[in-house]
Amino acid sequence: MATEPIEPADLCPACGYRDVTTADGWCVECSSERAIEAYGEKDRERAEARHSRWKGRTAAPSDQPLALVMRQRRHRLEVATRPKEFPGALSDPLELGVDALAHLRAVRNGLGSNSRARSHLAQAEELIKQLAHGPEE
């Protein structure tokens, strides 16, 4: 008795029971699922990349508490010292300092004999001078 070799049916390698009907060698249902998974994987990779960039930029308080404190302090200082109008790119810090001191002199003249206010004014004048000259070289 001769047996003829049975040719394997073209079954989907993913599910194993539907016939292959697409050019990629899968059944329609499995081919669709694979395409959806591929797009989902791309989206997950992009989302994870965004998440890691964001996490690297802002660490959670429990991760680096000192870094968080320093970042908050820096932000508060920037907000407190942000001018209403920024000086031009070619502005000279010494000229800005002279202008600020002139305004403080006008305030000093209006204070009269208030010694406490005058001491605060003297401190402000010194700080403006320090800002105008920058750190000692």
DSSP character at residue 63:
T
What is 69-82 written as a DSSP string?
A: HHHHHHHHHHHHH-
Angle, CA 103 vertex, CA 98 and CA 106 arms, to 5°: 130
Q: Give the total residue count for the chain.
A: 137
Q: Would the pLDDT of 124 be above 70? A: yes
Q: Would the pLDDT of 123 be above 50? A: yes
Q: Across the strands, what pairs with 19? A: 11
The predicted pLDDT at position 6 comes to 41
- Rounded mean pLDDT, 50-72: 73
- Rounded mean pLDDT, 42-70: 74
* Per-residue CA distances from 1 to 4, 7, 39, 85 (Å): 10, 19, 53, 101
The predicted pLDDT at position 76 comes to 93
The predicted pLDDT at position 7 comes to 46
Q: Which helix (H) or strand (E) holds 18?
A: none
- Rounded mean pLDDT, 64-68: 79
The larger pLDDT score, comparing residue 99 to residue 7, is at 99
Q: Would the pLDDT of 71 be above 80? A: yes
Query: Is the pTM for the entire model greater than 0.85?
Result: no
Give the type of residue at 109. N
Give the whole-angstrom CA distance, residue 27 versus residue 13: 9
To 10 degrees, the CA torsion angle through 115, 120, 124, 130? 100
Task: Output the average pLDDT for the chain.
Answer: 81
Residue-wise pLDDT for 28-51, tens only, equals: 888 888 888 888 888 888 888 877
- Rounded mean pLDDT, 44-71: 74
